[in-house]
Structure 1
Amino acid sequence: MEIDYRWRGALTDSELADLTRSHGGDADPGWWDRAARHSLGWVTARTGDNALAGFVNVAWDGGDHAFLLDPKVRSEWQHRGIGTELVARAAYGARTAGCTWLHVDFEDRLAPFYFDACGFRATTAGLLRLRGHG
């Protein structure tokens, strides 16, 4: 399995929408075109035939804090270490940019991935829903 990882690798909105749909997510056309300009960076993972196998976005506050957002691995490539490598490279990119902290939030079912495989530690945080129900 040959995977090419790139910090700020070339990426189109349609590729990201396709990746999102590949594992049952709701693609928002135009999202990446809007989000990219606000990102510190992102990591792409591509197969030998240049297909997008995975992605993670890194937002930041312009200082010490970076935020891991929207990690995705194409369903047929999951459970092969790609997600873990995406997170490791995102952390390296944020560290190299001068950030001190990398934040992530996630659903409970993903705790083993983030805590055990990626090395995050639990902290107390708060969440306020600004739109929608629930």
Structure 2
Amino acid sequence: MIDLVVKFPVDDHVLSELHAAAFEGEPEVQPWAERLERWALTWVGAFSNHRLVGFVQVCWDGGAHAFVLDTAVHPEFGRRGIGQQLVAAAASEARQAGCEWLHVDFEPHLAAFYLDACGFRPTQAGLLKLR
């Protein structure tokens, strides 16, 4: 059973470990709690027996536009619909906050997830690498 929790108390070590596992990287502790409190409209965690197994955050412009970031599910819990549940919860939170649009950027291999499973539609966008 998976429990979704909105704006759960964030442990930087735990979320950094989940992020590293989901994105096949080396765990490097990031200041998640500080960043989320300062910049996020909301965030949602997926928990299995009190273990964080999924995460998504929503940032926004303070108005009509919100942005999905950092959708992550631990590989041990993949392919169970957790990511889709997280994005749906994030969309609901953004809608309740009065946002009109929810944006997401993704790599090509995630198109089926975001476009088919989560209901986003493709748009043209631009990206500028800063570093």
TM-score, with length taken from structure 2: 0.94
Q: Which moved more, 1:119-128 or 1:24-33?
A: 24-33
Point out where structure 1 has 5 or more consecutive residues left out of the alignment: none
Q: Which moved more, 1:113-122 or 1:18-27?
A: 18-27
Counterpart position of 1:47: 48
In 2 relative to 1, CA 26–35 (structure 1 residues): closer, same or farther, beyond 3 Å?
farther
* CA deviation after TM superposition for structure 1 residue 26, in Å: 4.2
Identity percentage over the alignment? 51
Q: Which amino acid aligns with 1:47?
A: S
Query: Structure 1 residue runs of 4+, over 4 Å off?
Result: none
Counterpart position of 2:121: 121
Point out where structure 2 has 5 or more consecutive residues left out of the alignment: none
In 2 relative to 1, CA 14–98 (structure 1 residues): closer, same or farther, beyond 3 Å?
same
In 2 relative to 1, CA 101–26 (structure 1 residues): closer, same or farther, beyond 3 Å?
farther
2:73 and 2:25 map into 1 onto residues whose CA distance is 11
TM-score, with length taken from structure 1: 0.91
Q: What is the aligned-residue RMSD (CA, Å)?
A: 1.1
1:33 and 1:8 map into 2 onto residues whose CA distance is 10
Q: Is the 8 A contact 2:4 2:45 kept in 1?
A: yes
3-state SS, counterpart of residue 44 of structure 2:
strand
Q: Is the 8 A contact 1:20 1:26 kept in 2?
A: no
2:10 and 2:34 map into 1 onto residues whose CA distance is 13
